């Protein structure tokens, strides 16, 4: 893990709303005097158009390999065809095995039906149906292979228990569909049961993913750390982020050995791109996690405090604006300016 006085991190603004929320985030980090310098790279749509098949040009790769920490905006990936997901390429090439997505209620600042909700989704990040083993058998038959290995399962499950221990969280829940996928999900569940034995002070339970997701949507406060294979974790973390008020509030950390990538939970939101209405909070909270990773937790705390104050003032972006509760509807830029102003009064 890099320790830095002033760390240089690679910055990829991304596609769609990416450049807007990235600019807002960088302005806030700069105003807070965060100990980071950004080295910008271009990846994603523009690079594909220039014929770079991975979407990541060679100079971007070398910057990432040299700096080892990446703050990344969301990237547009075509559905049902076209180029391969750049996000998956980055996660696999850099060995970012753990995708950590904290989701908590901000009640009463943002009123919630689940004020006690405070969970972390720990998603395996390299295997499962995301391994990209997909092919057409005949013109009418297609196949995708689900890859679950013991080493990757052990690593992510242990990571989830260590995170629970470090954060003083009393329970880890595993979610799989091992009643149907008895071999693949069965292995993940079995590994979970084995490793749980090494953490007797932490409660361990298992839910089948379908009822687990239903319970999470209905009573999220019952969950603490949730560990899953790749696909289920992707889905339930969006569900959990939306329950906190908006997918625009979710930040995430992709952690590997010596490499880390921080990004919002949500995608590039092409439907609202370029309109100065996107919520930069998910990206900002991801950047705060990056500062903590770089041992600049004090600045991260100050930024989160100014961000909370902004929400407390009722200054909300459109996605979390609620008539009768919110006071001002702010755009991306003015929201960032307000957070910067509130840094003056943050401890």
280-299: which residues touch ligand NAD (CB under 6 A)? 282
- Let me know: does 8 contact 40? Beta carbons within 8 Å: no
Cβ proximity to ligand NAD: between 258 and 270 the closer is 270
Q: Which of 267, 289, 330, 335 binds ligand NAD (CB under 6 A)?
A: 267
Could you say which of 48, 92, 177, 185 is catalytic? 177
Cβ proximity to ligand NAD: between 93 and 222 the closer is 93
Q: Which residues contact 90 (CB under 8 A, 6 or more apart)?
A: 56, 64, 70, 72, 96, 254, 261
Check residue 5 for interaction with ligand NAD (CB under 6 A). no
Could you say which of 15, 178, 185, 234 is catalytic? 234
Check residue 228 for interaction with ligand NAD (CB under 6 A). no
Cβ proximity to ligand NAD: between 204 and 336 the closer is 336
Using a 10 angstrom Cβ sphere, with 0-12 exposed, 13-18 middle and 19 or more buried, the burial of residue 216 is buried
- Let me know: does 236 contact 119? Beta carbons within 8 Å: no
- Let me know: does 122 contact 227? Beta carbons within 8 Å: yes
Phi, psi of 103 (to 5 degrees): -135, 115
In the complex, minimum distance from the CB of residue 244 to ligand NAD, in angstroms, rounded to a whole number: 13
Stretch that binds ligand NAD, among 149-157, 191-199, 267-275, 300-308 (CB under 6 A): 267-275
Concerning whether 205 is annotated as a catalytic residue, the answer is no
Concerning whether 232 is annotated as a catalytic residue, the answer is no
Concerning whether 83 is annotated as a catalytic residue, the answer is no
In the complex, minimum distance from the CB of residue 278 to ligand NAD, in angstroms, rounded to a whole number: 4
Least Cα distance to 255 among 207, 294, 300, 206 occurs for: 294
Give how far Cα 249 sits from Cα of 88, 162, 285, 308, 316, Å.
22, 25, 8, 12, 11
Cβ proximity to ligand NAD: between 71 and 172 the closer is 71
| SS3 call for 166 | helix
Concerning whether 344 is annotated as a catalytic residue, the answer is no
Concerning whether 210 is annotated as a catalytic residue, the answer is yes
Check residue 337 for interaction with ligand NAD (CB under 6 A). no
Could you say which of 238, 293, 296, 319 is catalytic? 238
Could you say which of 193, 198, 205, 210 is catalytic? 210
Check residue 225 for interaction with ligand NAD (CB under 6 A). no
83-112: which residues touch ligand NAD (CB under 6 A)? 87
- Let me know: does 260 contact 293? Beta carbons within 8 Å: yes
- Let me know: does 9 contact 36? Beta carbons within 8 Å: yes
- How far apart CA 141 and CA 133 sit, in angstroms, is 15
Q: Which of 102, 220, 229, 248 binds ligand NAD (CB under 6 A)?
A: 248
Stretch that binds ligand NAD, among 22-30, 68-76, 110-118, 142-150 (CB under 6 A): 68-76
Check residue 268 for interaction with ligand NAD (CB under 6 A). yes
In the complex, minimum distance from the CB of residue 13 to ligand NAD, in angstroms, rounded to a whole number: 12
Using a 10 angstrom Cβ sphere, with 0-12 exposed, 13-18 middle and 19 or more buried, the burial of residue 183 is exposed
Using a 10 angstrom Cβ sphere, with 0-12 exposed, 13-18 middle and 19 or more buried, the burial of residue 225 is buried
In the complex, minimum distance from the CB of residue 266 to ligand NAD, in angstroms, rounded to a whole number: 3
DSSP letters spanning 312-332: HTTEE-GGG--TTT--EE--H
Given the rule CB under 6 A, which residues bind ligand NAD? 17, 21, 74-77, 87, 247-248, 263, 266-272, 278-279, 282, 319
**Residues with catalytic function:** 130, 177, 210, 234, 238
């Amino acid at each position: 893990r890099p320790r830095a006085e002033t760390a240089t991190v690679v910055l990829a603004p991304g596609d769609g709303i990416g450049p807007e929320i990235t600019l807002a985030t960088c302005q806030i980090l700069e105003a807070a005097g965060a100990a980071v310098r950004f080295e910008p790279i271009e990846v994603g749509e523009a690079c594909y158009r220039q014929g770079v098949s991975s979407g990541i040009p060679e100079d971007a790769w070398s910057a990432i390999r040299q700096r080892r920490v990446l703050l990344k905006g969301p990237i547009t990936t075509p559905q049902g065809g076209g180029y391969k997901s750049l996000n998956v390429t980055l996660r696999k090439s850099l060995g970012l095995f753990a995708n950590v997505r904290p989701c908590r209620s901000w009640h009463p600042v943002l009123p919630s039906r689940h004020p006690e909700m405070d969970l972390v989704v720990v998603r395996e990040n390299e295997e499962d149906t995301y391994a990209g083993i997909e092919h057409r058998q005949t013109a009418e038959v297609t196949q995708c292979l689900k890859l679950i290995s013991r080493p990757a399962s052990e690593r992510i499950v242990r990571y989830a228990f260590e995170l629970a221990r470090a954060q003083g969280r009393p329970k880890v829940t595993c979610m799989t569909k091992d009643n149907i996928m008895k071999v693949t999900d069965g292995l993940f569940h079995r590994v979970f049961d084995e490793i749980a034995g090494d953490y007797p002070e932490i409660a361990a339970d298992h839910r089948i993913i379908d009822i687990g997701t239903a319970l999470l949507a209905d009573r999220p406060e019952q969950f603490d750390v949730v560990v899953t294979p790749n696909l289920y974790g992707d889905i339930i973390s969006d569900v959990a982020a939306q329950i906190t008020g908006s997918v625009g509030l979710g930040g995430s950390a992709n952690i590997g050995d010596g490499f880390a990538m921080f990004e919002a939970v949500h995608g590039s939101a092409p439907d609202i791109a370029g309109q100065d209405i996107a919520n930069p909070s998910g990206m900002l909270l991801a950047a705060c996690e990056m500062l903590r990773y770089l041992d600049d937790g004090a600045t991260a705390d100050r930024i989160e405090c100014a961000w909370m104050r902004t929400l407390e003032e009722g200054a909300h972006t459109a996605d979390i604006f609620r008539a009768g509760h919110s006071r001002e509807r702010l755009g991306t830029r003015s929201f960032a300016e307000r957070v910067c102003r509130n840094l003056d009064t943050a401890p």
